[in-house]
Amino acid sequence: MFDDSGWHAAAAKKPSPHCDARSDQDISLLVIHNISLPPGQFGGPYIDELFNGTLDESQHPYFAGLRGLRVSSHFLIRRDGTMIQYVPTTQRAWHAGKSCFQGRQACNDFSIGIELEGTDHQAYTADQYKSLLTLSRDIMHTYPRITLGRIVGHCDIAPGRKTDPGPAFDWSGFRSQLCRMR
Segment 158-171, tens digit of pLDDT: 999 999 999 999 99
* CA 111 and chain centroid, separation: 10
Helices then strands, each counted (H, E), the chain: 4, 10
Catalytic site residue 57? no
Segment 172-182, tens digit of pLDDT: 999 999 999 87
pTM of the predicted protein model: 0.97
Could you tell me the pLDDT band of residue 24, with boundaries at 50, 70 and 90? confident
Single out the catalytic residue among 49, 57, 115, 117.
Answer: 115
Percentage of the chain with pLDDT > 90?
A: 97
Could you tell me the pLDDT band of residue 30, with boundaries at 50, 70 and 90? very high
CA–CA distance, 24 with 79 (Å, rounded to integer) = 33
Could you tell me the pLDDT band of residue 65, with boundaries at 50, 70 and 90? very high
Ordered domains of the chain (ranges, CATH): 12-181 (3.40.80.10)
